[in-house]
């Protein structure tokens, strides 16, 4: 078997893995990033689109992206819609911060470009089979390249940034599923359509027929979702039926319609790994935790993990100081569980659970009113949605 030697082996070229590699490279810490997908697949897969202000500032200040400022759209609020009325949550007035609409695959294009421009090691089409010797000073990733060649990547540290179906997780928790789970009895039906925006900001709508999110991509392309059964076949709806579903879930407003050119069903769940660190292997991003998309926390939480692990690895690899690494899990988990709570809360407040009773329904409207009619309620939502300050281990 061929062996490659590096300081940090990073499994997964998503936002977490690529951003960590970028920050490490700025401290002259060499890494190898692998991903089983092709560059094209990574750069074109449609994911969520909301970045917290802290995420944007870090992408910019670290030199990872300039387009994130010039090509994103700042949103200073969202609308919560229920019982036929829209209620604006004014982020700017409440917390002096905003969020930015900039799709995840654009972030990935930027991170891949900066990695390749710097001449750093990034390998597509390489599958991580397993991690060996996690608890030694020489952990290794056993990989298979697209032509079947086996390559061992030997490192001082291994990072599992390989998403919700993580292979790395087994080396940290002892199993692929080792974590705290919550399943939801619904999924999102997502569409991309060619139409002008239906509103200036995102609309999160609760209706008797279920939840809908009216998001955007550009002046001509819109992204929308509606709550559906997890077993739904994305092809089972005609375009007309999709518009009927969407319109029925935003009572009191009318959406601009247009041709739907992409559709998908997104199942979601809440998950937090039992452990984030074992020996010289750490988990970050979706490998460590998955949140339902309602709070728009996914990619932002991954970046918050990266900020902490970057600090811990600099101390470990440049100064032989393990203290920050020892503090990593506890600090990361505090934010992870806050984000889990927020994402669960937004999800349960806005969706209609199958079999919900009249009591459940009326209580839910009471909850929504408690939020929009209270400045404290609105402020909590604004603080969490725009993102808590990025913390440091020191
Ligand atoms: C999206 O635009 O894809 C999006 C926005 C906000 C969310 C989830 C998804 O909470």
User: What does pLDDT average to in each consecutive run of 10 residues of the chain (394 residues)?
Assistant: 97 98 98 98 93 98 97 97 98 98 97 98 98 97 97 98 96 90 96 97 97 96 97 97 98 97 95 97 98 96 98 98 98 98 98 96 98 98 97 91
Question: DSSP states of 245-298 as a string?
Answer: HHHHTSTTS-PPP--EEEEEEEEEEEEEES-SEETTEEE-GGGTEE--GGG--H
> Which pLDDT value is given to residue 216?
96
Nearest CA to ligand 1 atom 6: 296
Residue 54, SS3 per DSSP: helix
> Which pLDDT value is given to residue 176?
77
Question: What CA–CA distances, in Å, run from 61 to 22, 58, 69, 383?
Answer: 12, 5, 11, 22
- Gap from CA of 293 to ligand 1 centroid (Å): 7
Domain 2-49+103-178+274-349: CATH superfamily is FAD/NAD(P)-binding domain (3.50.50.60)
Best residue among 225, 295, 381 to mutate for probing ligand 1's pocket (most ligand atoms within 8 Å of CB) is 225
**Fold held by 181-269:** D-Amino Acid Oxidase; Chain A, domain 2 (3.30.9)
**Number of the ligand 1 atom closest to the C-alpha atom of 223:** 2
- Gap from CA of 188 to ligand 1 centroid (Å): 11
**Number of the ligand 1 atom closest to the C-alpha atom of 216:** 2
Reported as a single tens digit per residue, the pLDDT across 206-234 is 999 999 999 999 999 999 999 999 999 99
Q: Name the strand (E) or helix (H) holding 147.
A: none
The residue extents of the domains of the chain are 2-49+103-178+274-349, 181-269
Cα separation, 30 vs 148, in Å, equals 26
**Number of the ligand 1 atom closest to the C-alpha atom of 190:** 3
Residue 312, SS3 per DSSP: helix
Q: Find residue 100's DSSP bridge partners.
A: 51, 74
List residues with catalytic annotation: 75, 204, 293, 297, 385
Nearest CA to ligand 1 atom 3: 48
Q: Given CA atoms 110, 115, 119, 125 in this order, what sign does their dihedral have?
A: negative
Q: Which residue carries 């100081």 as its tokens?
A: 321
- Gap from CA of 35 to ligand 1 centroid (Å): 25
- Gap from CA of 158 to ligand 1 centroid (Å): 31
> Which pLDDT value is given to residue 68?
97
- Gap from CA of 40 to ligand 1 centroid (Å): 22
> Is the Cβ–Cβ distance between 87 and 369 less than 8 Å?
no
Best residue among 45, 46, 47, 50 to mutate for probing ligand 1's pocket (most ligand atoms within 8 Å of CB) is 50
Please determine whether the domains at 2-49+103-178+274-349 and 181-269 fall in the same fold group of CATH. Answer: no
> Which pLDDT value is given to residue 175?
84
Q: Is 393 left (phi over 0), alpha (psi -120 to 50) or beta?
A: alpha
Question: What CA–CA distances, in Å, run from 337 to 93, 329, 330, 345?
Answer: 26, 12, 11, 12
**Number of the ligand 1 atom closest to the C-alpha atom of 48:** 3
Cα separation, 3 vs 73, in Å, equals 45
pTM of the predicted model over 0.95: yes
Cβ-Cβ contacts under 8 Å for 72 (sequence gap 6 or more):
51, 56, 100, 101, 102
Reported as a single tens digit per residue, the pLDDT across 145-173 is 999 999 999 999 999 999 999 999 999 99
Nearest CA to ligand 1 atom 7: 296
- Write down how long the chain is: 394
> Which pLDDT value is given to residue 259?
98
> Is the Cβ–Cβ distance between 131 and 157 less than 8 Å?
no
Taking CB atoms and a 6 Å cutoff, what residues make up the pocket around ligand 1?
Answer: 48-50, 202, 213, 215, 223, 293-294, 296
> Which pLDDT value is given to residue 44?
95
């Amino acid at each position: 078997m061929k062996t490659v030697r590096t300081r940090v082996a990073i499994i997964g070229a998503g936002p977490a893995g690529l951003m960590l590699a970028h920050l490490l490279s700025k401290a002259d810490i060499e890494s190898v990033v692998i991903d089983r997908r092709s560059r094209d697949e990574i750069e074109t897969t449609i994911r969520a689109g909301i970045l917290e202000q802290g995420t944007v500032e870090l992408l910019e200040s670290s030199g990872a992206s300039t387009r994130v400022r010039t090509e994103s759209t700042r949103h200073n609020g969202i609308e919560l819609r229920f019982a036929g009325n829209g209620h604006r949550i004014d982020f700017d007035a409440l917390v002096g911060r905003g969020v930015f609409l900039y799709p995840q695959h654009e972030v990935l294009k930027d991170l891949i470009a900066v990695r390749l421009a710097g001449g750093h090691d990034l390998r597509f089409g390489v599958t991580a089979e397993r991690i060996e010797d996690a608890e030694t000073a020489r952990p290794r990733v056993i990989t298979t390249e697209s032509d079947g060649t086996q390559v061992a990547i030997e490192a001082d540290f291994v990072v599992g940034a390989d998403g919700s179906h993580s292979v790395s997780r087994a080396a940290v928790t002892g199993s692929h599923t080792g974590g705290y789970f919550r399943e939801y009895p619904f999924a999102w039906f997502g569409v991309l359509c060619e139409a002008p925006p239906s509103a200036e900001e995102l609309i999160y709508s609760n209706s008797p027929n279920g939840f809908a999110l009216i998001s955007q991509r550009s002046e001509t392309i819109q992204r929308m979702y509606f709550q559906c059964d997890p077993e739904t076949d994305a092809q089972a709806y005609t375009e007309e039926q999709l518009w009927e579903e969407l319109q029925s879930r935003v009572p009191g407003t009318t959406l601009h319609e247009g041709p739907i050119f992409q559709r998908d069903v997104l199942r979601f769940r809440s998950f937090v790994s039992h452990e984030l660190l074992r020996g010289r292997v750490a988990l970050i991003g979706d490998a460590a935790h998955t949140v339902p998309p309602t709070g728009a926390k996914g990619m932002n939480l991954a970046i918050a993990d990266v900020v902490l692990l970057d600090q811990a690895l600099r101390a470990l690899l440049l100064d032989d100081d393990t203290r920050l690494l020892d503090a990593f899990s506890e600090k990361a988990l505090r934010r992870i569980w806050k984000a889990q709570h927020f994402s669960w809360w937004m999800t349960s407040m806005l969706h209609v659970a199958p079999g919900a009773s009249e009591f459940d329904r009326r209580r839910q409207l009471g909850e929504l009113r408690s939020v929009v009619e209270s400045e404290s309620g609105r402020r909590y939502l604004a603080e969490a949605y725009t993102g808590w300050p990025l913390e440091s281990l020191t």
